Amino acid sequence: MQEIIHVLEELVAAHDALFILEKEKQKAIMEDSTEQLMKSLYEQSKHLKRIQELEQQRQYCIKNFLQRNGFQSDQCRLSDLIKLATNMREKEDLRKVSQLLSSRIEQLRQENHLSQQLIEQSLSWIDFTLQLFTETPDHFTTYFQGDEPAVQPNGRQQGFFDTKA
């Protein structure tokens, strides 16, 4: 049971590190620092791989624990595992680590959602800026004949920066 608790504690630490990286990523997005954003994403991917390894290790430890204690199932939820623990100290440790891990995962979900919103806002701003530079203005003050703006041979109107001076 102690090895399960140890793996869970490592998972909490890994999620804490991921939380810090998520905050750094948000800062990079707000500061429009592409280099820092790429660095944060690279570090996050390394931490995610580590979390996957720890999760596999957790599943393996739980499977071994269940087999040693005569249970047929090889998968078990943490709440079920807490009920199966016979030692009160192990029960309490499992409960604490389980609550801590759940709390960290929820914090990460919230921060990830915030990062998604920041990225969407950045992309909207980029799209808006590009449209300003590429769309044809509603009215031209010069450089066309008559009431119609200049039309290219393919039928498209010329963009603001596509016109000749």
pLDDT one digit per residue (tens) for the chain, 165 residues: 788 889 999 999 999 999 999 999 888 888 888 888 889 889 999 999 999 999 999 888 888 888 887 877 767 788 778 877 778 888 888 899 989 999 999 999 998 898 888 888 888 888 888 887 776 655 555 555 555 555 555 555 555 555 555
- What are the start-end ranges of the H helices in 31-77? 34-68
**What is the Cα–Cα distance from 87 to 75, expressed in whole angstroms?**
21
CA-CA distances (angstroms) from residue 91 to 6, 58, 80, 123? 13, 16, 11, 48
Q: Looking at residue 137, what is its pLDDT?
A: 58
CA distance 51 to 48: 5
pLDDT of residue 162: 56
- Look at residue 77 in the predicted model and tell me its pLDDT: 81
Angle (CA) 91-94-99 rounded to 5° is 125
The answer to whether the Cα torsion of 49, 55, 57, 59 is positive or negative is negative
Residue 87 CB contacts under 8 Å (≥ 6 apart), including other chains = 1
In this prediction, residue 159 carries a pLDDT of 56
| Confidence at residue 110, expressed as pLDDT on a 0 to 100 scale | 93
For residue 87, count CB atoms less than 10 angstroms from its CB and return exposed for 0-12, middle for 13-18, buried for 19 or more: exposed
Per CATH, is 2-131 categorized as 1.10.3470?
no
Distance of CA 30 to the CA centre of its chain: 15
Contact call for residues 15 and 104 (beta carbons, < 8 A):
yes
| CA–CA dist 9, 157 (Å, integer) | 62
Structural domain spans, the chain: 2-131
